[in-house]
Structure 1
Amino acid sequence: MYPDDGAHPTWGDTVRRKLAPILVALGATAALAAPAAAAPGAHQPMTPLPSTGTSPVEPQAGFRVLPYLQAPSSDSMTLVWISELDTPGTVTVTGPGGRQELTSEPVHLDLMEYSDAELAQTIDGLNQGSWLHSDANYQHVVEIDGLQAGKSYRYTVTQDGVEHTARFSTAPDAERWDHVRMMAFSDTETEPAGRIEHREWETAHAGLADGSAERPGIDSLWAQRYGTAVRYGEELVRYPMNQADALDANIATIAEQDPDLLLIAGDLTQGSGYQPAWDEFWRHFAGESSDLASNVPLVTAIGNWETYASISGGYGTPEDRSPVVVARNRYLDYMVTPGDPANPQVRDSYYRLDHGPVTILTLDSTNGLPDEDTTTGMLSGEVFSGDDTNLTPERMSTDTQGSFTAEEYASAFANVYATDASESDLPDLGEGSAQWEWAQAQLADARAQGQVVLVQFHHAAYSSGVHGTPPNHEFADNQSGVAMRAYTPMFEEYGVAAVISGHDEMFERSFVDSDGDGVGVQMYDVGVAADGLRGEQLYETADGTFEPIRFNTHSEWMAAVDEPELWENDANGNPQLVDGGLHYGHLQLDLERTRCGSELTLTPVYLFPQMDAEYTVTGTERRVYDDVVTLDLTADGEVVADNSCQGNTHRN
């Protein structure tokens, strides 16, 4: 967890002694290890010890997690994979500049063993334990250096005699590029139950499209096939694709567009402290379902689900938040990213990535100070009503997490890692914090370099969904993203083009232009990767009906409102969906060079389910919502209201 600087000479032995009884109490039988030297820019891993886990599955040769790409740059790429045997692997890289052969050093991931609750879990519709692997997890991190900018490389990783071959491309030179394509979504929230679970599918409050037939009802053939769910007092049919199939379709559609980067703005799993959820995540991205992450670098943010242990302890208790510590550090173990060198204890939970002309800042939005909690009445601002025009500085919230306090987390961290509570790896998001100062310095530097700047974090600051109101609002939320609005003036000052978030499981675009000059920041909630499909946050009126709160006055477009569903009855009188509605999808970002600047096109993509007359899903069709936004940027990377170079793009 810390740099190998001798500051914690007994750290490894104490971790092993302290964490073992805690994990046993959570139902785990983990063998813990002392720290080994970390690669530059990586977190501190642990040296391997024999596993004493109780999974019924024996360790297998080859890959538990296929190679996945991390920390890309113009001259290097970090390659990570997970094996179940404690044996080195080899990497062969070929491309411009010649051939490289590298050998990995396996490091035991001591937090990844199954808890007793996970081993005993049953899921209706799946054979008990069919989703389990062994308890052995060995991480291999290989940094490939000496590469050339904007070039394609082929690599083969051999682990225990098993080979995996893929390709990657380095980032282009910031001065020599034509086109950068990025994809973004959030809330994949993987879990084994997602293979069979169909999620809620809220209707648009604005109603159906003109001329539409009625949506299938609770007694329809659709309901018989996919079930129903109650939202805001109304029973509605569920979505026709289960979560796993939806994510696979989303990934396949993304892969077809050949992106340079994939941004995932948090909530990767249905509980980071729930190991089967991680197994499922990697099955989709670097495993049985696809190897997208072997070819496209993942740029991830930490979300609220990354601080939750699910059936392995949840959020713990105020006296013991160790499940939160374990969950958070499991995410940080998997993701090998460049962080804040001045604040290494936070383990790269926020970081900067430069990809040619683009700078991406990933922030950690999981904690703010002072702590707030609606259940205890611990609020930092006075309670108010109405929309966000009433959000005065005195009413501004500070926190995004109402389930535990920073003090509780720090106490558990100190117990788990046998150090002082001040060494907690949970950063504050607020003004004056280390993360705040780092973000401001990185934005100033990126602007000075003429970069096009994007920011991602999990908790959407501007949302019309269930997390859209602050904890001190009349209709309060205990995990609100409103506290992240504190960064908006900074984003506007340094010309951030777009902010990518999730959390509300919606598809929504907001626009903030404080001075009204037509140049502001596009704010997206792209939480439509594979989990819930939600509409607006509603409240119950005095007469028992439900109306939208619409706290977020900056909302410009949302799929659940502005894309009404169009149904047509077939010959048998069964409604068939023709177009519209809220579906799984992603945001496509295309940056293209122009004669005197660049042009950023933000395209909201959705996957329209194709079904036969019996409502069997036969595939998906890539469609685009009617909210494509094109931003003109100067040669210095700043968004402008009117660019004379519009239309003079250099396309591949």
Structure 2
Amino acid sequence: MNKPLSAALAAAVLLPLALAPTAGAAASPATAASALPAAVAKDPAPGFRVLPYLQAPSSTPMTINWISETDEPGTISMSGPGLGKSAKQSSEPAYLDLMEYTQAELDEQIAGLEQGSWLKSNSNYKHSVTFEDLKPGKTCNYTVTQSGETHSAAFKTAPKGEAWKNVRIIAFSDSETEPRGRTEHREWELSPVNGYTADSLKRPGTDSLWDQQFGMTTRYGEPTLRYPLDQSTAFNENLKHIQAADPDLVMMAGDLTQGSGYQPTWDEFFGHVAGEHSDLASNVPLLPALGNWETYAALNGGYGTDADRTPAVISRNRFLDYFSLPRDPQHPEYKGSYYRVDHGPVTVLTLDSTNGRPDENTRTGQLTGEKFSGDDTNMDAAKLSTDTQGEFTFESHVQGFKELFPGSTDKDVDLPNMDAASAQWEWAEKQLADARAKGQIVLVQFHHAAYSNGVHGTPPNHEHPDNQSGTAMRAYTPMFEEHGVAAVISGHDEMFERSWVDEDGDGRGFHSYDVGVAADGLRGEKLVKNAEGEYEPLRFNSHSQWSAPADEPETWAEDANGVPQLVSGGLHHGHLQIDVANTAQGAELTLTPVQIFPQLDSQYQLEKTEWRAYDDVVRFAVGKDGAPLAK
């Protein structure tokens, strides 16, 4: 097959070559100046670029995707109840126009890595096959053959009716993969209020063995340790424990990569979940959400500029090209930006929180509510923010979309918005009402945490503002309470926090989580200076019940060789484990915040990681109608 590169997409692939990183854009990969020649993408190789990964799961259908570098069709053979002895289908490879490396990516240099060692070929073909007539609650085995290479895996379809025992779901956010993550150790913040237990030693400091091994950074004007696991190792260890937990679904609440418009981040992501590091996604369906990094092109133009708004559109469409997500039949132009998945008694609604209206921007002073200070008890409906994205507007996205896809109209635009006038809002109301009528237990996920004490916790019209705040998503709270949502899963602040939300005071609310601890930074609470000029937690979120930075003080002690070691406590990479058990009265949910605790030797080399539960395991019952019972 030839590569069907349309004129519009050809321009999109070539255009970023000359773009520099957006001024002021945060944490974009840097390109160092050097006389070294640019790296060269490898020649296409037969077999799998990305191993099979499960999509759009249900009780009877399942979609299996994989990526190859050649245009040969693949075959998939499946065995299981309802298929007879076996079932076999062939794939029709589709070339992914947007996944070719840009010149900026070929030129990039990363400290500690051989230039271009992370690059693959410049050829990506997507294969997608759906099996429709599977039996509910049954194990299916399958083998995919691609250009002589095979990969075998298995999955279990969702149960149907009341004949189910338990469901396990794992949720995380902010994996933010990138080649730099193979060597980079991110910040590891410590609370200035409750950082240590009474009998703990202090953390190692500047010029310590820890500093020599992992380095230090600066947060709020103070030296801060870097975490002992690099980002790649942290994600691998997290996924290892997730795979051992044998979940039915994995929810990923956004920021999968460190810039969706930067192709090496996707190579890294799939290497972790469906490649050289693990085949988790071959056995467990992934349910991803769009985050702010899914609208960011990194060194290929960031969020875009007034002169060129295509980078954010390209980034978004890379995400939507990789995943085969259920679509709103009334608005197929959104390509699965928001979607519903039912797994037995559980309904998962994934929303797109990447933009709202009216647009707000702290840099330009474009705000919708009057400025205020203090915590969220000072924020009434008139002060509620409306937007989660200060880097681009809905209108600028439309501009970029029409540049990328000439001849398109406003009705073709792929950004749904999250406000009450949007199609997404109407869809969410209908899905929640339907799920409640069917007695489903409802989980909702989106990226920007609406309730947070982290750096993104304050709205843009606050005295200490944030330009990508999730507070605008609080607009959905009455809807969630009305329809008995059990838990809301988000990320964005790169911390672990649980809030209890019961705005109408009837004792029936929902737990709201920030689970942004998959593999990137480990941030603490948002700090501001007090009257004495000292930093202290702002704690804007009055709904907060627990967070690892505030409620898990560290205990350090010397090992047998006199080396300070962390014994317990602290903020670590991890995930939320959601267990749903069938009961005579309905069901019981157990929400376990999990930390992947590193065990180091006396030279601070990693020996192993341990699965540990934080001290905030929550259990609650839901009735036969699937709604949480009053406390």
TM range (shorter): over 0.9
Q: Select 2:227's aligned residue among 236, 239, 256.
A: 239
Contact 2:303 2:311 in 1 (8 A): yes
Please name the residue that 1:649 is paired with: none
Which of 621, 625, 630 lines up with 1:636 in the alignment? 625
**Residue 152 of structure 1: CA displacement?**
0.3
Residue number among 361, 370, 381 corresponding to 2:369 in the alignment: 381
Aligned partner of 1:6 in structure 2 is: none
1:122 match: 109
Provide the rounded CA distance (Å) in 1 between the counterparts of 2:439 and 2:214.
51
- The 5-angstrom pairing of residues 263-412 of structure 1 reads 263-412=251-400
- Equivalent in the alignment of 2:467: 478
CA distance in 1, matches of 2:349, 2:18: 36
Q: Report how far residue 19 of structure 1 moved.
A: 3.5
Q: What SS is found at the alignment partner of 1:266?
A: coil
| Offset of residue 547 of structure 1 | 1.1
Gaps in structure 2 of 5+ consecutive residues? 20-37
Residue 54 (structure 1) shift: 9.3
> Which of 409, 417, 422 is the equivalent residue of 1:428?
417
Give the match for residue 204 of structure 1: 191
Asked whether the 8 Å contact 1:605–1:622 carries over to 2, the reply is yes
Deviations 1:279-299 (A, max 9, x none): 000000000000000000000
Q: Aligned to 1:81, which of 37, 49, 66?
A: 66
Q: Which aligned pairs between 1:45-64 and structure 2 lie closer than 5 A? A: 55-64=40-49
- 1:194 alignment partner, one of 181, 185, 192: 181
Pairing 1:489-504 to 2, within 5 Å after superposition: 489-504=478-493
Query: How far apart, CA to CA, are the structure 2 residues paired with 1:475 and 1:144?
Result: 51
CA offset digits 1:383-431 (Å, max 9, x no partner): 1111101111111100000001110110110111111244211111011
Shift of 1:466: 0.4
Kindly indicate whether the alpha-carbon contact (under 8 Å) linking 1:271 and 1:309 is maintained by their aligned counterparts in 2: yes
Deviation at 1:597, TM superposition (A): 0.6
Deviation at 1:573, TM superposition (A): 3.8
Cα distance between partner residues in 2 of 1:181 and 1:365: 25
- Please state whether the residue corresponding to 2:293 is helix, strand or coil: helix
Residue 148 of structure 2 aligns to which amino acid in structure 1?
Answer: G
Q: Is the 8 A contact 1:413 1:421 kept in 2?
A: no
Name the structure 2 match of 1:602.
Answer: 591
For these two proteins, the number of residue pairs brought into alignment is 607
- After TM superposition, give the deviation of residue 433 of structure 1 in Å: 1.2
TM-score, with normalisation over the residues of structure 2? 0.94
Q: Secondary structure at the match of 2:17?
A: coil
CA contact (8 A) 2:12 2:98 kept: no
The amino acid that maps onto 1:532 is G
Aligned to 1:616: 605
Match of 1:94 among 57, 79, 87: 79
Q: Distance in 2 between matches of 1:273 and 1:463?
A: 27
Query: Is the alpha carbon distance of 1:610 and 1:571 closer, same or farther for their aligned partners in structure 2, counting shifts above 3 Å?
Result: closer
Partner of 1:32: none
Alignment of 1:161-172 (within 5 A): 161-172=148-159
Q: Which of 8, 11, 35 is matched with 1:21 structurally?
A: 11
Give the structure 2 partner of residue 455 of structure 1.
444
Deviations 1:322-368 (A, max 9, x none): 01110000000011010211011111100000000000000000000
> 1:22 Cα shift?
4.0
CA distance in 1, matches of 2:412, 2:367: 26
Partners of 1:186 and 1:315 lie apart in 2 by 20
Residue type at the aligned position of 1:494: H
Q: Deviations over 1:196-250 (max 9, x none)?
A: 1000000023220121111111121111100001001110111000000000000
Q: CA deviation at 1:28?
A: 8.6
Residue aligned with 1:82, SS: strand
Give the aligned residue type for 1:94: S
Equivalent residue number for residue 137 of structure 1: 124
**Which residue type is aligned with residue 443 of structure 2?**
L
Distance in 2 (CA, whole Å) between partners of 1:519 and 1:348 is: 30
Cα RMSD (Å)? 1.5
Q: Distance in 1 between matches of 2:591 and 2:123?
A: 42
CA displacement at 1:56 relative to structure 2: 3.1
For 2:125 and 2:151, the matched residues in 1 are separated by: 17
- Out of 521-530 and 166-175, give the one that drifted further: 166-175
Question: What displacement does 1:55 show?
Answer: 4.3
Please name the residue that 2:29 is paired with: none
For 2:512, the equivalent position in structure 1 comes to: 523
| Structure 1 position 553 matched with structure 2 position 542 | yes
Q: Percent identity?
A: 61
From 215, 218, 235, the equivalent of 2:203 is 215
**Counterpart contact for 2:13–2:97, Cα < 8 Å:** no
Instruction: Kindly provide the amino acid, as one letter, of the partner of residue 213 in structure 2.
Output: R
